[in-house]
Structure 1
Amino acid sequence: MPLPDLVLVHGGEHAADCWDLVIAELRCQAPELRTLAVDLPGRGRTPGDLATATIAEWVDSVVADIEREGLGEIVIVGHSMAGVTVPGVVTKLGSARVREMIFATAFVPPQGQAIVDTLSGPLAWFARRAARSGKPTKVPRFANQYAFCNGMTRQQRQFALARLYPESARIPGESVDRSALPADVPRTWILTTRDRALSQKSQRASIAALGGVQEVIPIDTCHDLMISHPQRLAQILVDRCRLYAT
């Protein structure tokens, strides 16, 4: 039976290529599953000005990618900072198109607040400093390695650190508005239990802020689970998509 299409939205300082290992696994596990990994504006295939970026602009970019690829019903996945983008995409497309939204260790501030209002951990100082300056920035390599890559093999760390890019300073400082988010779209959370960028406590706070999360799936790994555990993540995503086979 046909599966819904799968859309992968990367987080801060990442791009579509962070999903390469997962996409390779998806092709092995479910070759029939159509998958789109987007590049948010200002990196990869998508032009954009990180200095003037807005959440609405990023939402529109993801929706445009989905429409250009001719995708139908979708399951959408947001990693890390995509927690502020995915709800806007779901709001635009509506529950008629979106079968499920999956948040993989995501930043989801309370309604009306911004990421920098609640961010803690090793990246908080860099995010707040960048928000004050307004200039696109890239966290130093040592901080990214500590925050994103703990527990990885050397090869995985090299893969991850080679795929980090400058990031908008505006997005973490922009207040979110989820007031129009459809309540009937199922919500799943992938909880990374050894995450230094977003602790379990912080993730639980994001789950509470989002509301309506029906299933929490723990993985004993670091923040960049798509690189540390691509096979496991791919299996989770395939299983979720198969729930909506028509």
Structure 2
Amino acid sequence: MVNFILVPGARLGAWAWDAVVPHLREAGHGAYPLTLSGLAEKRGVPAGQQTHVQDIVDEVERLDLREVVLVGHSYAGIPVGQAAERLGDRLAHTVFLDSSIPVDGESFAGPWPDIEASLARNDGFWPPAAASHYAGHDLTEQQIARIVADSTPHPGRTLTEPAVLSGPLSDLKATYVLCAPAGEEPDDDVAQLVADGHWRLVRMDTGHWPMFSRPRELAQVLLDAPKA
């Protein structure tokens, strides 16, 4: 038995994993979706990047979990990668789900100056995306409507504050799940970790939000990850 801590990407809450959790639990494992500070039911809680890292560590310790598989989707790969190296022998595996990965001293927003411009226009928050943002990602109209309706503004400091790592990501036992059509490749930093034999790469032929578009298939990918 392993215990999955499921961390959603920007603007989302624990609700994003509703269709995945039952499949993990039916397989006999623990599944714990986590809302990060400042989002969904925790909206209004002040949060910076290290707040989100601590959210993850605190949840594992609060539940006193062992054999932990951390799963970070999209933005959440940044805090998940940092939390992973702080969990010691509680950690079994890390899954980066079509996500950014942390680089010591760099922020999520660093490669995208338009994010900081958006924060400046929106009182320090990254506003929810319009329905058009989700087009072409293998989602139904109903799924898109739910994502748009339930998303909340994302606290900007979590996006602009730098990651803090004490060691290389190659030290982690990790799987990177690339959600893209056949033929597309991961970013160079991920590709290097895979090529060097440190991480395993799994491909899903779906869009960026597989917890909605392919929940059963995603659950199986997560179940297989610690066995690799």
| Corresponding position: 1:42 with 2:38 | yes
Conserved in 1, the CA contact under 8 Å of 2:127 and 2:154?
Answer: yes
Conserved in 1, the CA contact under 8 Å of 2:106 and 2:162?
Answer: yes
1:168 aligned residue (132, 155, 161): 155
Cα distance change on mapping 1:101 and 1:158 into 2, 3 Å: same
TM-score, normalising length from structure 1? 0.80
Aligned-pair CA distance for 1:158: 2.5
| Corresponding position: 1:22 with 2:5 | no
| Corresponding position: 1:204 with 2:202 | no
State the one-letter code of the partner of 2:71: V
Cα distance change on mapping 1:190 and 1:7 into 2, 3 Å: same
1:108 aligned residue (101, 111, 123): 101
Query: What value does the CA root-mean-square deviation take over the aligned residues?
Result: 2.7
Equivalent position SS for 2:39 = coil
Conserved in 1, the CA contact under 8 Å of 2:103 and 2:165?
Answer: no
Range with greater deviation from structure 2 (12-21 or 110-119): 110-119
Could you tell me which residue of structure 1 aligns to residue 116 of structure 2? Answer: 128
Aligned-pair CA distance for 1:76: 0.7
TM-score, normalising length from structure 2? 0.85
Equivalent position SS for 2:150 = coil
Conserved in 2, the CA contact under 8 Å of 1:22 and 1:234?
Answer: yes
1:231 aligned residue (216, 219, 222): 216
Aligned-pair CA distance for 1:91: 2.0
**d(CA) in 2 for partners of 1:137 and 1:216?**
30
Range with greater deviation from structure 2 (181-190 or 102-111): 181-190
* Higher RCO structure (Cα 8 Å, ≥6 apart): 1
Unaligned runs of 5+ in 1: 195-199
**d(CA) in 1 for partners of 2:63 and 2:149?**
27
Conserved in 1, the CA contact under 8 Å of 2:82 and 2:102?
Answer: no
Cα distance change on mapping 1:162 and 1:139 into 2, 3 Å: closer
Number of equivalences: 225
Aligned-pair CA distance for 1:89: 1.1
Cα distance change on mapping 1:152 and 1:33 into 2, 3 Å: same
Equivalent position SS for 1:115 = coil
Conserved in 2, the CA contact under 8 Å of 1:10 and 1:16?
Answer: yes
- Equivalence map 1:14-163=2 (5 Å): 14-28=12-26, 30=27, 32-46=28-42, 49-50=45-46, 53-94=47-88, 96-108=89-101, 110-119=103-112, 125=114, 127-132=115-120, 135-146=124-135, 150-163=137-150
